[in-house]
Structure 1
Amino acid sequence: MTAATPQETAPTDRRVSTRVGSISESATLAVDAKAKALKAAGRPVIGFGAGEPDFPTPDYIVEAAVEACRDPKNHRYTPAGGLPELKAAIAAKTLRDSGYEVEASQVLITNGGKQAIYEAFAAILDPGDEVIVPAPYWTTYPESIRLAGGVPVPVVADETTGYRVSVEQLEAARTDRTKVVLFVSPSNPTGAVYSREQVEAVGRWAVEHGLWVLTDEIYEHLVYGDAAFHSLPVVVPELRDKCVVVNGVAKTYAMTGWRVGWVVGPKDVVKAATNLQSHATSNVSNVAQRAALAAVSGELDAVAAMREAFDRRRKTIVRMLNEIEGVECPVPEGAFYAYPSVKGLLGKEIRGRRPATSVELAELILEEVEVAVVPGEAFGTPGYLRLSYALGDEDLAEGVGRMQKLLAEAR
């Protein structure tokens, strides 16, 4: 027998599948992990990387979890799609908060928003289906689409439009392979919020072309000033049969670590996603589900207090960033992120270095003044930085102040 050539042996010798090997690490979590590691080593790092409220989970939610731990019924398997009482409570919460009336059978409880997004795409997409993804986008969206066999098609908006894409841009990206359009308002990473008229225009365009819409509403309660949240299937009811909503408790109730999200959509899609979850993870932790039940059934006082703090920090960070020559930061209307353009700084000399990309600029900022930010490359738009203002007022002012002093040296 003759020896096999390298080309013949390569496929069987590959240790990691092409599908999974092509996925990049979450840039936001990587930056946050690096910042925390430096802090643990005694470095005075200030991190603007993670999208995580700096407030504790409200006491009444924690107490619900403590009680759930003591109840033996929570020590066993429960339905893969979620506790029936939590699904009913989320249906009631959806009606209360957005005016969208759904049944409990249209709800799937997931291990956080990321699982909700992946399972929704997996239930809708066939190999090669295209998904229009407005950019800047959250890092997980295109990876979830690819894992589900789809093809993400970015449509880029910039600071001149407040990071909002137009229907004309969406139409220019539409092909005969387009099946889904992703719609996110308020947006991560930009904080952009679409007006009711803009939401309606996107929804009616999707209906006209028979497209599905996946809309992420996890920042629904974090809007500021005159901005308002509008749920797409409420504004355009004709879209209900082809609209999937994803949401979760992470941002509204400061419960990022509890890992409870959900999918709301047509019954057949929710059933298919539930079948997938039954083989992937089965039920979400019962203790976390009981905590989520207390959260969504309770008042919104805690988020009101958080929103007030975020609003104050939002104004501070935008003012301080715009004081830096070469930086342009639109005012975010929702979520808790600022997304400044730093294109005016690229190529300039700063402490003997000339960062050519926002990745290099972010590295320089971390190394020189110990401030962690996420470069725009992670969100599909080089030349920008994302800073989460979900951190204490003093740390925020100190961190941006360090950046101001460093970047003032740009020549």
Structure 2
Amino acid sequence: MRIHAAVARVPKGPLSIETLELEDPRDDEVLVRVVATGVCHTDLVVRDGMLPTPLPVVLGHEGAGVVERVGRSVTKVKPGDPVVMTFNSCGTCPSCADHAHSYCHEFFPRNFFAARPDGTTALSREGERIHSHFFGQSSFASHALCREQNVVKVPADAPLALLGPLACGVQTGAGAVMNALEVTAGQSIAVFGAGSVGLSAVMAARVVGATTIIAVDINDARLDFAREVGATHCFNPQAGSVVDPILALTGSGLNHALDTTGRAAVIRDAMACLAPRGRCGVLGASPMGSEITLDQVHFMSGGRRLIGIVEGDANSDTFIPTLIALNRQGRFPFDRMIRAYPFSAIDEAIHDMEAGRTIKPVLMMEAAPPSA
């Protein structure tokens, strides 16, 4: 079928909306008509050539839509079902068998290589190969092919146009707090970086009853928003190091810290703020080969832990519906971060996110024909 999609052709360049050909779904694949899709920082990291995803490619990995067709072996969803498309996994490796799909042994190739496991792609333009299946979906498009493994059915009355960010950014931040770090009532946490992932973590910390919730960011408007959704204290590192003020506030240090920036210096500060036996989660996307330097004595002598977190340790089939329910109860207002853009304004949405004017852009698909 012919679809329209935003194609990344050159590193750091604008995306071009083009007419492409999309293959029929294979036996384990699901064809989804995309209603809306979030824009994530990871899309930009890949667009800018910081990870080895081949070009030209259709990015996008926070898609929400309606199932149109399913492959012969698919039983999880049927045509007409509203769904969110999340990260991809093999479903059979030791991690997947242990319901830890975000640590799939094939996570990187299944999500970043922008092809099926057999190396084929589902997209083309007049015979030109266009890479597809980014995060098992490539949802910067009017239609996407995902797998039964990475599609999540959502309630029929849920606001589908708002749900895409649950697939990655929101799930990652909230899951880091609720699943990976297992923050509990009465504990303290500092979240470094108040983008959509960090703010989702702040909201989740309030849900679980953390009593000291600190947001750290250089954008004062983001810190103001963090206060509105759960932060009890905010620090802007442009005013000076945050380590001493956080230690002074908490006494012996934090129970938990979470870095969403991927910056080595920020991770070092986050670790320096931990109390003995405190845990720091790291989930920010960084270029391949990035390294972290820590004070070894401080790290070892206090039994502190540094934990890599992918997709919030989430079982998406259960966690995404949980977040939807919390939102309906007014306890997890992730929708307040969202600003909608028409799909044709994708580059404007990206620019606004990079400039800090928009926390979480969501692209709304429209019937207008593509520009190229």
Instruction: Say which one has the larger Rg.
Output: 1
Q: Kindly indicate which of the two structures has a greater share of residues assigned to strand.
A: 2
Q: Which has the higher contact order (CA 8 A, sep 6+)?
A: 1
**TM-score scaled by length of structure 1:** 0.32
**TM-score of the superposed pair, with normalisation by structure 2:** 0.34
Q: Which has the higher helix share?
A: 1
